[in-house]
A and B are shown apart, each in its own frame.
Chain A
Amino acid sequence: MKLDVNGQAREVEADPEMPLLWVLRDLLGLTGTKYGCGEALCGACTVHLDGNAVRSCVTPVRRAAGKKIVTIEGLSPRGDHPLQQAWAELGVPQCGFCQAGQIMSAAALLAASPKPTDEEIDRSLAGNLCRCGTYVRIRAAVRKAAGV
């Protein structure tokens, strides 16, 4: 199966029903995308498919074929997406595990709504759990990156 991952053509041999998450992590070695629940409840596995944020833990890899897959590793060439910068500047992460998924969700939001309201931020990031409880800083970082 041919995949377009972070702008690179990749070839994998995988069960078409294998979730994209495990293809990325186990077959392609892209471990920035995390497993947190396997049931699309926590958002740690969020990646972009043709710009839409999806939960890779429930996305069969066959549905990603022919689409542009972007993971946290490919969000920006040098890890300097405005969200990544804002996250670092505001010290958002605690354990850091959920943050790649949070950032991928936030990036999809900003792509669609460059100046989001707090309510929009809440709604778009409602699917991303953070057990450390960094939500208040995440909101602030999204606002900072959006310049609002």
Chain B
Amino acid sequence: MRPRLARLVRFASLALFTACSGPAPGPAAAPRPSAPPAPAAPDKLLPPSAFASIEPPAARSQALFAEASRVLLHARCVNCHPPDDSPRQGDAHAFHDPPAVRGPADRGVPAMQCGSCHQDQNLPYARVPGAPDWHLAPVEMAWLGRSSAQICAQLSDPRRNGQKTLAQIQHHLAHDALVGWGWGPGHGRSAPPGSQVELGALFQAWIDTGAVCPAGEEKRP
């Protein structure tokens, strides 16, 4: 896990530089040099205040999303945001075994419903992860294999986010119990950096700075 997180950190920093060295702002639009903050430790998220010095606000917004996407791109999140019919497992995103499928309501099929096995909490002996209403994200909200820029574009598009406002999405990220499970996945599973509260704050700050999506990045492998 550690190397992957480190890569994500480097990746996020790179995104910052990309965002800041974009072609748009002329000398007049950049009243003072914007210094990207030092990357957080692999298991930590930077608070919104760490980005305060970035100008213009659009670049700050992009940087905030990049920081938040360290969570969004984490295996605990993307494994349940697949672009196809199969949930994934583990940090290498292996196909779910037993071979569960999405089903018509993102909750599996008869006898192989998500809730056939997953309970409302992690199980201490059986290793089965659990949280209330365990299910897949709708396929139009697929994140697996996508870049933070692509995920951001999806999130911002009501046609691809389940007709939600950004505030509703922020609420989901900041308060949903299934999202929160990611920080307590149990049984030696890796957790995304920071906490659900910190993610909520970052996302709110991103909205507050204009919800600017990162400029095109390389698609994640």
Contacts and interface: CB of A to CB of B under 8 A. Distances in A.
A and B touch in the complex (CB under 8 A): yes
Interface string A17-44: 0010000000000000000001111010
B117 interface: yes
Contacts of A120: 109
Contacts of B117: 40, 54-55, 58, 127
A52 B112 contact: no
B115 interface: yes
A10 interface: no
B126 A58 contact: yes
Contact of B115 (A46, A54, A60, A124): A54
Contact of A105 (B111, B126, B128): B111
Nearest to A52: B113
Contacts, number: 77
A127 B126 contact: no
Task: Name, among A38, A52, A58, the residue most crowded by chain B CB atoms within 10 Å (CB to CB).
Answer: A58
A52 B128 contact: no
Interface of B: 97-101, 109-113, 115-117, 119-120, 123, 125-128
B120 A124 contact: no
28 contacts: A19-B126, A38-B126, A39-B127, A40-B116, A40-B128, A41-B97, A46-B111, A52-B110, A52-B116, A53-B110, A53-B113, A54-B113, A54-B115, A54-B116, A54-B117, A58-B119, A58-B123, A63-B119, A104-B111, A108-B110, A109-B109, A113-B110, A124-B109, A124-B112, A126-B112, A127-B98, A127-B99, A127-B111
* Top 5 A-B residue pairs of the complex, sorted by shortest distance between their CB atoms: A105-B111, A40-B117, A53-B111, A112-B110, A127-B98
Contacts of B128: 39-40, 58
A54 B115 CA distance: 7
B116 A53 contact: yes
Contacts of B115: 52, 54
Nearest to A124: B111
Contacts of B109: 109, 120, 123-124
B127 A109 contact: no
Contacts of B120: 63
Contact of B112 (A57, A104, A127): A127
A106 interface: yes
A118 to B, nearest CB: 14
A77 B167 CA distance: 53
B199 to A, nearest CB: 29
Given A120-B109, A124-B111, A127-B116, 12 more contacts: A39-B128, A40-B116, A54-B116, A55-B117, A106-B111, A109-B110, A109-B111, A123-B112, A126-B100, A127-B99, A127-B112, A128-B111
